[in-house]
Amino acid sequence: MTNAPISLITTIFNEIASIQTFLDSYRHQYRYADEFIIVDGGSTDGTIETISAYTKTHPELNIRLIVAPECSRAYTPAPIARGRNLAIKNANNEFIAVTDAGCILDPNWLARITSPLDQADVVAGWYRYNAISPFQRRYARLMEPSAENVNPMTILPSSRSIAFRKKCWQEVGGYPELSYSGEDTMFDINLHRAGYKFAFEPQALVFWTPPLTLMEALKKHRWYSYGDGQLHLRKRLHLMRIVCLLMPFCLLIDPRKRQDFIFAYTILCAQIFGFLAGFISSLGRRSKMSGENLNYTH
């Protein structure tokens, strides 16, 4: 376990519905970061005031709030990437941990996500779904990833649960500020291509709240795939999805999709249309990375 100082960073925008729960989960960590930098893109729903009050009540959490309206969609197509880059730029420590404010952190998360940094450059954590409603449980049965077959040599960790050395972030140019989604995938690809050593810590868990409705799920998957299309990521996977769209019986190979075929096919349509829309929007600009043959955990 590393005893080096840690900087934890996250970005937020209008998170009033979940910010209290997120901060409480950080307060219950067995280890606190030496600084916790939160970049807010200019929230208008009371999020800023809630964090400010929490910081005064719990000074031991070392929270530093940066309000930066330029890290919002009003000013950039990539508010999340810009917010993360701003937070890391302001971080005072070499070891950086990253999560999302919509998550609930396992009490051991920060200790476990940073422990392998003594031997590795990048640590990939894991996430589970915090599924409560019947729809969320249905979604989780279909979509929740498994950690069983993860290869640390090829994993592309979600920035819900990742840690790395600041020098790695600097040397690959930070999170790419090119799209609303997919920025963490491309960041991971750049780290792999630069030759940095990855470690996988499946017990570094965060819990993510899945969509509450079908429409929310379709919108989310469309945005994920739109980012892939804009950045020209995972083209082979999306080609396979197009094949499944045209030949739906291919979905029956997966037992989970076979049990809920209509739902799986509907999600598939959103993924394909999102990717194609993003790809078309990117014509004339070539991506640096293709992202083939790497494991994506979103």
Q: CATH number of the domain at 31, please.
A: 3.90.550.10
pTM greater than 0.85 (yes/no): yes
Q: CA–CA distance from 84 to each of 159, 262, 289 (Å)?
A: 10, 37, 20
Residue by residue, DSSP assigns 207-264 as EE---SSHHHHHHHHHHHHHHHHHHT--HHHHHHHHHHHHSGGGGGGSHHHHHTHHHH
**H or E stretch covering 195:** none
- Higher pLDDT: 146 or 195? It is 195
pLDDT band at 289 (very low <50, low <70, confident <90, very high): very low
- Note the pLDDT of residue 181: 86
Q: What's the mean pLDDT in 108-124?
A: 97
Query: Looking at the structure, do residues 25 and 91 belong to the same domain, yes or no?
Result: yes
User: Has residue 76 been placed in a domain?
Assistant: yes
User: Has residue 237 been placed in a domain?
Assistant: yes
Helix, strand, coil distribution of the chain in percent, nearest 5: 45, 15, 35
pLDDT in tens, 17-76: 999 999 999 999 999 999 999 999 999 999 999 999 999 999 999 999 999 999 999 999
Out of 174, 208, 242, pick the residue that ends a domain: 208
User: Has residue 1 been placed in a domain?
Assistant: no
Q: How many domains does the chain have?
A: 2
pLDDT band at 284 (very low <50, low <70, confident <90, very high): low
- Note the pLDDT of residue 285: 58
- Note the pLDDT of residue 249: 84
Q: What's the mean pLDDT in 170-190?
A: 93
Query: Looking at the structure, do residues 46 and 171 belong to the same domain, yes or no?
Result: yes
Residue 66 one-letter amino acid: I
Closest Cα to residue 240, out of 228, 230, 255? Answer: 228
Out of 177, 208, 239, pick the residue that ends a domain: 208
- Note the pLDDT of residue 252: 83
Q: What's the mean pLDDT in 148-159?
A: 89
- Higher pLDDT: 173 or 295? It is 173
User: Has residue 84 been placed in a domain?
Assistant: yes
* Averaged confidence pLDDT in the chain: 92
Query: Looking at the structure, do residues 169 and 259 belong to the same domain, yes or no?
Result: no
Query: Looking at the structure, do residues 82 and 56 belong to the same domain, yes or no?
Result: yes
Percent of the chain residues past pLDDT 90, beyond the cut: 79
pLDDT band at 216 (very low <50, low <70, confident <90, very high): very high
Lowest pLDDT segment from 6-20, 122-136, 240-254: 240-254
Query: Looking at the structure, do residues 117 and 181 belong to the same domain, yes or no?
Result: yes
User: Has residue 292 been placed in a domain?
Assistant: yes
Cβ-contact 227, 278 below 8 angstroms: yes
Query: Looking at the structure, do residues 68 and 171 belong to the same domain, yes or no?
Result: yes
- Note the pLDDT of residue 255: 86
Closest Cα to residue 227, out of 296, 174, 276? Answer: 276
User: Has residue 161 been placed in a domain?
Assistant: yes
Closest Cα to residue 17, out of 77, 96, 104? Answer: 104
Structure tokens at 272: 């394909």
List phi, psi (to 5°) of 3: -105, 5
Query: Looking at the structure, do residues 276 and 165 belong to the same domain, yes or no?
Result: no
Query: Looking at the structure, do residues 202 and 242 belong to the same domain, yes or no?
Result: no
Residue 249 CA to residue 245 CA, distance in Å, equals 9
Q: CA–CA distance from 230 to each of 10, 84, 93 (Å)?
A: 24, 20, 32
Q: What's the mean pLDDT in 216-222?
A: 96
- Note the pLDDT of residue 92: 97
Residue 96 CA to residue 26 CA, distance in Å, equals 15
pLDDT score of 287 more than 70 = no
Query: Looking at the structure, do residues 199 and 225 belong to the same domain, yes or no?
Result: no
Query: Looking at the structure, do residues 161 and 103 belong to the same domain, yes or no?
Result: yes
- Note the pLDDT of residue 153: 85
- Domain of residue 252 covers 214-296
**H or E stretch covering 119:** none
Query: Looking at the structure, do residues 202 and 290 belong to the same domain, yes or no?
Result: no
Say which residue the tokens 């930066």 belong to.
68
Residue 206 CA to residue 192 CA, distance in Å, equals 23
Out of 208, 227, 252, pick the residue that ends a domain: 208
User: Has residue 110 been placed in a domain?
Assistant: yes
pLDDT score of 174 more than 90 = yes
Four-CA torsion 209, 211, 213, 218, nearest 10 degrees? 180
**H or E stretch covering 77:** none
Query: Looking at the structure, do residues 91 and 224 belong to the same domain, yes or no?
Result: no
